[in-house]
Structure 1
Amino acid sequence: MDMKPLLEALGGGAGLVLSGVLVVVLVLIVWAFWQGRSVEFWPPRIGAQPGHPEAADDEAAPRESDPTSEALPVGARPDRVFDTRDALGFYQAIAPNYDQRNSVNLLATHMEVITRIEAIRAAKAGLRVLDLGGGTGQNVATYFFNDCNIRWTYVDFCPGMADQLQQHLAGRPLYNRLRVHVEDISRIHLRVAPKSHDVILLNLVLSSMPQLPDFARIATLLAPGGTLIISDINPLYTSAHPLYQARAGDGTQVAMRTHMVQPLEVVTRAREAGLQLSDMTQIGSADISYSFVAVFESAARQRRKAQVRKDEESSTW
């Protein structure tokens, strides 16, 4: 846009007028941010104030391209949007339909976690797994349904999810070696003995929590040489697709605004708890990966593995 004719028309006062306009724009932006409104610079737009019906419409609008969500009719909006502080209500509502999620990247994430467990299982016959926030168990726990030696301790704060898990495994060999705790994972250290599990899973759980759990408490539940496996959604993906939506048992559409999980923060918290990152894998496209799978081990175990490698290298000379 050519500003020259406008400046000529304003004459010597052009600078003052433009300065005044700039001040007004800055005041509007500050005012919008102070009220929690969204601001878009192009095309210029200031969103509705949070809590206003228009804002609710914006927040509730589903992202049709989100493959973690159950397919909804174009233009459909959730009847209710939950916060992670009410994740229990959200998961209780969708428990009957939870297993309808079947995106390629979601299944690939579960398979990566299973592969990690299998690798550990191959070296330890009586593997003891602590599955924190295990959901219905459809995609991970049920993979080991026919294993007569593995011990599976399941924890989830949602009774509906625990019911689904037990229906999936009823009559299977794993069911006889299954312990179920309907409990918040932040309190499970009060019900599970220290150093009692070889593998602890946090599989796609952290993004449903308002804040990260106490990794130091979780680490106390690991047996010597144990492994912590964490998978969750890439934060860039969460930013692009913040709503996890599904159909509730009563047929209504509900969604939860998920928490953005930063892998670096997870690694830092785990290190502070005495665990070291041994491997991290990304799932999905190279542009914006869908999820990450991180494997943590105790520092002592990593030292032992390093010594084994050193001994093997020495034997080759």
Structure 2
Amino acid sequence: MKKMKKLLLLLSASFAFSLQMDFKEVKKFPYIKYVTAWKGTPAETKDVAVPNVYIVVGQKESPEVLTSAAKVAFYLGQWTDGIGLSPKLVKEGKIPKLIISDKEVEKYKDRNLIVIGTNNEIVRELGLKFKEPTLKVVEKDGRKILIVGGKDTKEVVKAASFLADRVISFKVGAYNTFFNWVRVRGMIEHGNYEGAYDMLTDSRGVHACGRNMSLAAPMMAKFPPEVKKVVKKRNKIMYVELPKALKEENKEKAKKLWREAMITCFQCHHGIGIPKMRKFEPLADIHSKHQRIANKYGLSCKDCHYGITEYRGYEEGTTEQ
């Protein structure tokens, strides 16, 4: 059994609790996947983000645990583009589910599971016991299961809140920011300055990073000075200098600033000249969507990944959907 890491979560200046968490496994859990959706309509689309999990609760769970499941579903819904509908499924009355009971698990075997609470058949079958709020990843019958547990309802709610507020919500902001940042580069390449400016400043575009800044604010105070300097530089470029260059329709300046901001992101993610802030490698099949976005604008990996940012976690074209 893999060792679990214990985190001390400073949720406010006056409140803290410990959490048992399989850090890497929880961060890299396959929460979503990309599919071709809305088949049978003129709007059939590839690369649509849909849930890759069922959220499971026991039939006899408390209202507080059920509410926590809904909270996790809310943030997962923000990450995805839909549930995977098609006219055929609607006609057959088979609109995909997201939250199911522990009695339905054997009926729905096409996704991984997030099991919230301990009063269910899965936790009993696994023989799990909890002493504190816990996020634990196991495998059973060929699929991954993320268990959200605790010794009582209060602790389960704490663990579920961390999963929703600090893990899934953070990923929503991170991927919205990242993918739209790539779109900004593509728009600059084609002289679409108005579109790039709109994407840069939209709350679901690059400004989605405000969610992550808010979540990371308590930790920022503890960052080394050299990290704070890099973050400050990035923010100045992304939220002051680049918007100004786009308003001026200065293509070369905008491309230069975009590149400089990308370098600051690489510094934090890969530890270039500063301590590495990202402690895990993201899932290639999720992260690689940015490659396909770039391709739509006629850009290839080498247009952005060169010099100090040459590193790529996978080869171009190896993760197409």
Q: TM-score, normalised by structure 2?
A: 0.25
Bigger RCO (CA 8 Å, 6+ sep): 1
Structure number with the higher strand fraction is: 1
Q: TM-score, normalised by structure 1?
A: 0.26
